[in-house]
Amino acid sequence: MKAMTLQSFGGPASFALRDVPTPVPHAGQVLVRVHATSINPLDYQIRRGDYSDLVPLPAITGHDVSGVVEAVGPGVTAFSPGDAVWYTPQIFDGPGSYAEYHVAAESIVGKKPASLSHLEAASLTLVGGTAWEALVVRAALRVGESILVHGGAGGVGHVAIQLAKAMGARVFTTVRAANFEFARRMGADVAIDYENEDYVDAILRETGGRGVDVVFDTIGGDTLSRSPDALAQLGRVVSIVDIAQPQNLVQAWGKNASYHFVFTRQNRGKLDELSALVDRGQLRPHVGAVYSLADIALAHARLETPNNGVQGKIAIAVVPLAD
């Protein structure tokens, strides 16, 4: 099979398209013909060597699969050849999805929502699973509460806005002014221009000085350290980004705040819950750009560029005419 392999840690030119053996499904595993995958910041963080201790080279990376089951290993009961499926490969545990075929444990694989194309489905598994873990499992967002979603035009952010709306929350989000219309279309009640307005001032103004119940930090640095300033009493902060600097939590103490740090975990249950929201029309990933498997280096370079004009996700058509 063809696979985009990472030959060394470094820039986008570190990738090479190679012929490699097609994997074989063992007990409890499915072999999937990958129709589409997508790009996540984790992919370029791995590529440039941020996790070099965890990724032996050469490596196949990639963290989203939408495709069709080609074969099943002994003992597989949930899937048969021909089933359309979606999942996030186990992170830091074996080859990823930048390839024509992928093998995964059936326990982390879900049935693809029929109403999503492969490109759309591959744009939801990692970011959707992360937003689910953050808002549903950890923040336990409740109907009528308020949430600030940072980075609302990005992969995780645009899904988190939709999820928070589906959970009955009032949603604030930080985006560039050029993405106001997109953020509102995703369901945001209030969009804050992070380049030209202080988001803490905006939150306090919009909430009459109270602050929001939940801050979802998808950016890191300033957005994490200033979260308590935007938070209501007994509020929750959920962060999915590395903590680059030691944090002073004095303000958080004053707010009786709870902090949650999320590193997304894989399981079928989350995918099935996301699928139910998709089927009800409450959640749909936005594919902002599509590249081919051969052009993954270009896709990486684009995702890494600030203000790259992409709304939502960059998807990769592995089958050339993937829908």
Helix (H, G, I), strand (E, B) or coil at 22: coil
130 binds ligand NAP, rule: CB under 6 A: yes
Nearer Cβ to ligand NAP (235/285): 285
Which pair of tokens denotes residue 246?
A: 């030691």
Q: Which residues pair with 139 in a beta bridge?
A: none
- C-alpha–C-alpha distance, residues 247 and 57, integer Å: 34
- The sign one gets for the Cα dihedral 56, 61, 64, 70 is negative
Which part of the chain contacts ligand NAP (CB under 6 A), choosing from 29-37, 146-154, 164-172, 248-256? 146-154
Binding ligand NAP (rule: CB under 6 A), the pick from 150, 268, 286, 302 is 150
Binding ligand NAP (rule: CB under 6 A), the pick from 127, 135, 238, 283 is 127
Work out how close the CB of 156 gets to ligand NAP at its nearest, in angstroms, rounded to a whole number: 4
288 binds ligand NAP, rule: CB under 6 A: no
Residue 42 CB neighbours (<10 A)? 19
Question: On the CB side of 69, how many CA atoms lie within 13 Å of its CA?
Answer: 24
- C-alpha–C-alpha distance, residues 310 and 312, integer Å: 6
Determine the Cα angle at 127 with ends 317 and 202, to 5°: 125
Which pair of tokens denotes residue 103?
A: 């093998």
240 binds ligand NAP, rule: CB under 6 A: yes
Nearer Cβ to ligand NAP (76/127): 127
Q: What is the DSSP string of 106-144?
A: GGG-EEPPTTS-HHHHTTTHHHHHHHHIIIIIIS---TT
> Residue with the closest Cβ to ligand NAP?
154
Work out how close the CB of 18 gets to ligand NAP at its nearest, in angstroms, rounded to a whole number: 26
- Residues near 141 by beta carbon (within 8 Å), at least 6 away in sequence: 135, 147, 164, 167, 169, 213, 214
194 binds ligand NAP, rule: CB under 6 A: yes
307 binds ligand NAP, rule: CB under 6 A: yes
Nearer Cβ to ligand NAP (208/306): 306
Which part of the chain contacts ligand NAP (CB under 6 A), choosing from 18-26, 81-89, 224-232, 305-313? 305-313
225 binds ligand NAP, rule: CB under 6 A: no
Binding ligand NAP (rule: CB under 6 A), the pick from 84, 121, 238, 241 is 241
Nearer Cβ to ligand NAP (95/157): 157
Nearer Cβ to ligand NAP (153/215): 153
- Report the candidate in 1, 20, 43 with the shortest Cα–Cα distance to residue 291: 43
Nearer Cβ to ligand NAP (176/236): 176
46 binds ligand NAP, rule: CB under 6 A: no
25 binds ligand NAP, rule: CB under 6 A: no
Tell me the backbone φ, ψ of residue 217, rounded to 5 degrees: -95, 110
- With CB under 6 A, what is the number of residues at the site for ligand NAP? 27
Which part of the chain contacts ligand NAP (CB under 6 A), choosing from 53-61, 65-73, 202-210, 256-264? 256-264
CA distances from 77 to 83, 88, 111, 112 (A): 12, 20, 13, 17
CA distances from 177 to 148, 174, 183, 308, 313 (A): 16, 9, 10, 14, 19
List residues near ligand NAP by CB under 6 A: 40-42, 126-127, 130, 150-151, 153-157, 174, 176, 194, 218-219, 240-241, 262-264, 303, 306-308
